[in-house]
Amino acid sequence: MATVPAELPAITADRPKRKIDVGFLLYFYLHMAGFLATTLLITWGLFVLFFLAIGDLSVDGMMHQLNNMASRYVTADAARIASFKHVLIVAHTLLSAAVMFFRRNSILPARDPKRSMRNG
């Protein structure tokens, strides 16, 4: 039977403990929340632009198209509503992924917040 030594050497005791930079962590989360919020707003704006485009780029045409869609949505059965929701979720996911791809350079914040404010 193998025996286990009473005391194992502490490997991590020789290394200094790294302190977590809470300020930068909060800055990172705030930056990421801003990135996600602007991505969401851009995606919603693309949906509005789509309805403007199919409404001949006029508010009256857009409202007519939205009224048409709303009347069909209200009279649809449960399976058709579920299908519409799936299409909407897939479209929103693809648009969000595309927007994130084109904004990929602004996902991570700069290490020094003061330097990023100077550079734009």
Q: Rounded to whole angstroms, how far apart are CA atoms 103 and 97?
A: 10
Q: Rounded to whole angstroms, how far apart are CA atoms 46 and 19?
A: 43
Task: Give the domain ranges of the chain.
Answer: 23-109
| Residue 116 confidence (pLDDT) | 53
Task: Please state the pTM of the whole predicted model.
Answer: 0.68
| Residue 52 confidence (pLDDT) | 94
Instruction: Give yes or no for a contact between 107 and 100, defined as CB atoms under 8 angstroms apart.
Output: yes
pLDDT, tens digit, for every residue of 47-99? 999 999 999 999 999 999 999 999 999 999 999 999 999 999 999 999 999 99
